A and B are shown apart, each in its own frame.
Chain A
Amino acid sequence: MPSEFFIPDPSGQVPSAEGYFGAFGGKFIPEALVAAVDEVAVEYDKAKHDPEFARELDDLLVHYTGRPSALTEVPRFAEHAGGARVFLKREDLNHTGSHKINNVLGQALLTKRMGKTRVIAETGAGQHGVATATACALFGLDCTIYMGEVDTRRQALNVARMRMLGAEVVAVKSGSRTLKDAINEAFRDWVANVDRTHYLFGTVAGPHPFPAMVRDFHRVIGVEVRRQLLERAGRLPDAAVACVGGGSNAIGLFHAFIPDESVRLIGCEPAGHGVATGEHAATLTAGEPGILHGSRSYVLQDDEGQITEPYSISAGLDYPGVGPEHSYLRDSGRGEYRAVTDDAAMQALRLLSRTEGIIPAIESAHALAGALEVGKELGKDGLIVVNLSGRGDKDMDTAARYFGLYDTDAEVAANEADTAEIEGDAK
């Protein structure tokens, strides 16, 4: 029986055998890692064609993760989006609270097939780290998670979750002390311990085969949305909207729709304090092609190839690179990418919470803010699906400080005015 939830790209046209999506991708890695990366490619290719692998993964995705994830229509939120119909793909309802578990379970099974006993991973917001620590607990693998020191502070809840699950969490103190630096440190660990260690990469970047493999593990998101929307709305969406840091949840949503030319694929990058301020992480909007973490893609860099320090309120999007397939979609025009500021994302976070009773992750709130714009552009006949890639529990401290929600904050008193403003805006 064909797999219902593990659905690798059936066209197999991109990437090329060398891992290129057009001009982007490839395998820019030190010689010490060549054998290990090749092994991942060979093992993944075998697994992809092995019904037993698909059966095992399907079983986990249904009975452990809880797939398929719900598709929720959000009419009260949609009133603020020009009256377009808006549906949310509820990846936040997966076990561990985000889409990350889809990829992690696939790669954890692969780790076992390769006979490796230790897993390392990077994490920004902590969602990939939590998912990885979870899978390692489930499969009895040693687990070390690298996380920028700045992120261990702003995502303290997830640090505690990872430690509860038995993982070692290493706070990385180099560079900007965020996701990029966590990846650097994970690569250093991998080079030294590659014999028994799999680097369970968390996004659709990195050297081939990671961009294609991680995409394949997340493709189920768009495949489910397509089926669910045809049932519920009777047609395909006008736009599929997702946030883009490295780009894994976005490619997961987009990929099944690439052949459907009527469906606009819209990625929302973090504009931080505004692209013009230079304090942002909008790689596809403001970057140039270059090489970071093993592949060619758009990169935030200076004129001599030094990577510039990104900024976003969202730890999960605070990254100066992006997956090569997004660069390919950008340059071919099939994908559209726009930048969403911290403030717009935070307003969307609060709006969804108060109109629909769903608290999204700050990452996903960037997509929600993008959907509010796109809805106004499409008007009331529009149909939008947004990937709600994660839940917001981990962000409550950041949100509480941003909005002044702690009892000690005088601003709590101003909440009445906030509500009035949201309701008024809808009219």
Chain B
Amino acid sequence: MSGNAQLLNDTLAAAKAEGRSALIAYLPAGFPTVDGGIEAIKAVFAGGADVVEVGLPHSDPVLDGPVIQTADDIALRGGVRIADVMRTVREAHEATGKPVLVMTYWNPIDRYGVERFTAELAEAGGAGCILPDLPVQESALWREHAEKHGLATVFVVAPSSKDERLAQITAAGSGFVYAASLMGVTGTRESVGTQAQDLVRRTRATGTDLPVCVGLGVSNRAQAAEVAGFADGVIVGSAFVKRMLDAPDHASGLAAVRELAGELAKGVRGQA
């Protein structure tokens, strides 16, 4: 069975056709429980997210700030396994018909086996993967299997990326390009800053057809509207996780992430 890379492309193209940015949400699998995490993803889709990235919790989340570290920790202590991540992808996609990606550090896939992982993700209805610590020059094996199984490979670009690297990365990637708005780990920030706009401009200047979506630091409707002014998609992670962590109980956590998705959905439609 082939993965849903095409569904991801179609979803992002449809948003563009509506003259707006897409809203891409991130939530870790297994947080606060596997079933609770699936409910949370359904809630952000219901609130208006176009795409969801499911995080594969890792013992050593080097690129994540304290909020996602805490969520990963809760998920791992709850015993989350790769099979649970696959079930999360499957149920989230089947319930909504929307594109669901996995975001993971490279070692779990390396250990699990690239062929096994890509085959299972495609079978679960996944659309692709974001692999933030797999640089393009180490990615040939992954891309071969991802392509075979109809999965998108989303690469990250950073403000420090030189133009020739942007060209290399956009040529190798598919789905969209994840533009990190600033130099730093995941987490909410007061402002998104000017680096993001410059990076989006430089990424597009490579001549790529891929949508360029901006993540890191975006947490509210005003920021989403600001980013939507220059990017094809707005990626929000820690702000959702924080709503879940701060909620007094699971039901109010679900309500809170659904509400935030609704706010951000207005933001990506330019309603600051």
Interface assignment of A305: CB less than 8 Å from any CB of chain B: yes
Among B108-162, those with CB < 8 Å from A are 108-112, 132-135, 137-138, 155-162
Distance, CA A307 to CA B106, complexed state (A): 12
Is the beta-carbon distance between A28 and B135 smaller than 8 angstroms?
Answer: yes
Is the beta-carbon distance between A304 and B81 smaller than 8 angstroms?
Answer: yes
| Interface of B: prevailing SS | loop
23 pairs, A vs B, C-beta closer than 8 Å: A28-B106, A28-B138, A30-B63, A31-B135, A31-B161, A31-B169, A32-B156, A32-B180, A34-B135, A34-B161, A34-B165, A184-B60, A187-B63, A188-B63, A195-B183, A290-B110, A296-B110, A299-B107, A304-B81, A304-B112, A306-B59, A307-B60, A307-B107
Contact check: which of B65, B109, B156, B184 meets A31 at CB < 8 Å?
B156
A104 → B minimal CB distance (Å)? 23
Is the beta-carbon distance between A191 and B63 smaller than 8 angstroms?
Answer: yes
Residue of B nearest to A18 (CB): B137
Is the beta-carbon distance between A306 and B108 smaller than 8 angstroms?
Answer: yes
Distance, CA A3 to CA B109, complexed state (A): 45
Is the beta-carbon distance between B82 and A291 smaller than 8 angstroms?
Answer: no
Across-interface contacts of B174 in A (CB, < 8 A): none
Across-interface contacts of B202 in A (CB, < 8 A): none
Interface assignment of B62: CB less than 8 Å from any CB of chain A: yes
Is the beta-carbon distance between B106 and A292 smaller than 8 angstroms?
Answer: no
Contact check: which of A27, A30, A31, A292 meets B60 at CB < 8 Å?
A292
Distance, CA A299 to CA B105, complexed state (A): 15
B65, B82, B107, most chain A CB atoms within 10 A? B107
Given that A30-B63, A32-B180, A306-B76 are known contacts, is A292 also in contact with B165, CB under 8 Å in the complex?
A: no
Across-interface contacts of A35 in B (CB, < 8 A): 160-162, 165
Interface assignment of A204: CB less than 8 Å from any CB of chain B: no
Is the beta-carbon distance between B111 and A304 smaller than 8 angstroms?
Answer: yes
Given that A18-B137, A305-B109 are known contacts, is A191 also in contact with B165, CB under 8 Å in the complex?
A: no
A402 → B minimal CB distance (Å)? 29
Interface assignment of A198: CB less than 8 Å from any CB of chain B: no
Closest 8 CB pairs of A and B: A305-B111, A305-B108, A32-B158, A192-B184, A305-B107, A306-B59, A35-B160, A291-B107
What 1/0 flags go to A168-181 for Cβ under 8 Å of B? 00000011000010
Distance, CA A31 to CA B183, complexed state (A): 10
A412 → B minimal CB distance (Å)? 42
B110 → A minimal CB distance (Å)? 6
Is the beta-carbon distance between B60 and A304 smaller than 8 angstroms?
Answer: no
Given that A18-B137, A28-B135, A291-B107 are known contacts, is A306 also in contact with B58, CB under 8 Å in the complex?
A: yes
Is the beta-carbon distance between A29 and B133 smaller than 8 angstroms?
Answer: yes
| Interface of A: prevailing SS | mixed
Is the beta-carbon distance between A188 and B111 smaller than 8 angstroms?
Answer: no
Interface assignment of A50: CB less than 8 Å from any CB of chain B: no
A115 → B minimal CB distance (Å)? 16
B43 → A minimal CB distance (Å)? 27
Is the beta-carbon distance between A28 and B133 smaller than 8 angstroms?
Answer: yes
Interface assignment of A59: CB less than 8 Å from any CB of chain B: no
Across-interface contacts of B109 in A (CB, < 8 A): 305
Distance, CA A293 to CA B61, complexed state (A): 11
What 1/0 flags go to B50-64 for Cβ under 8 Å of A? 000000001111110
Distance, CA A191 to CA B158, complexed state (A): 10
Is the beta-carbon distance between B135 and A292 smaller than 8 angstroms?
Answer: no
Among B47-91, those with CB < 8 Å from A are 58-63, 65, 69, 76, 81-82
Among B154-185, those with CB < 8 Å from A are 155-162, 165, 169, 180, 183-185
What 1/0 flags go to B183-210 for Cβ under 8 Å of A? 1110000000000000000000000000
Distance, CA A299 to CA B106, complexed state (A): 14
Interface assignment of A393: CB less than 8 Å from any CB of chain B: no
Contact check: which of A188, A288, A305 meets B62 at CB < 8 Å?
A188
Is the beta-carbon distance between A34 and B59 smaller than 8 angstroms?
Answer: no
Across-interface contacts of A28 in B (CB, < 8 A): 106, 133-135, 138
Across-interface contacts of B81 in A (CB, < 8 A): 304
Is the beta-carbon distance between A27 and B138 smaller than 8 angstroms?
Answer: yes
Is the beta-carbon distance between B185 and A191 smaller than 8 angstroms?
Answer: yes
Interface assignment of A261: CB less than 8 Å from any CB of chain B: no
Residue of B nearest to A185 (CB): B62
Distance, CA A195 to CA B158, complexed state (A): 13
Interface assignment of A144: CB less than 8 Å from any CB of chain B: no
Among A107-123, those with CB < 8 Å from B are none
Residue of A nearest to B155 (CB): A31
Taking A30-B135, A292-B107, A307-B60 as given, write out 17 further A-B residue pairs in contact, using a Cβ cutoff of 8 Å, ordered by the A residue number. A26-B138, A27-B137, A28-B106, A30-B133, A31-B155, A31-B180, A32-B158, A34-B160, A34-B161, A35-B165, A180-B60, A184-B62, A192-B184, A291-B107, A291-B133, A292-B60, A307-B59
Among A379-405, those with CB < 8 Å from B are none
Is the beta-carbon distance between B62 and A187 smaller than 8 angstroms?
Answer: yes
A18, A29, A193, A308, most chain B CB atoms within 10 A? A29
Interface assignment of A36: CB less than 8 Å from any CB of chain B: yes
Across-interface contacts of A26 in B (CB, < 8 A): 138
Is the beta-carbon distance between B183 and A194 smaller than 8 angstroms?
Answer: yes
Is the beta-carbon distance between B107 and A191 smaller than 8 angstroms?
Answer: no
Is the beta-carbon distance between A192 and B185 smaller than 8 angstroms?
Answer: yes
Across-interface contacts of A98 in B (CB, < 8 A): none
Across-interface contacts of B59 in A (CB, < 8 A): 175, 306-308
B112, B155, B185, most chain A CB atoms within 10 A? B185
Is the beta-carbon distance between B108 and A304 smaller than 8 angstroms?
Answer: yes
Is the beta-carbon distance between A30 and B108 smaller than 8 angstroms?
Answer: no
Across-interface contacts of A27 in B (CB, < 8 A): 135, 137-138
B58, B62, B108, most chain A CB atoms within 10 A? B62
Contact check: which of B106, B159, B160 meets A291 at CB < 8 Å?
B106
B86 → A minimal CB distance (Å)? 12
What 1/0 flags go to B202-222 for Cβ under 8 Å of A? 000000000000000000000
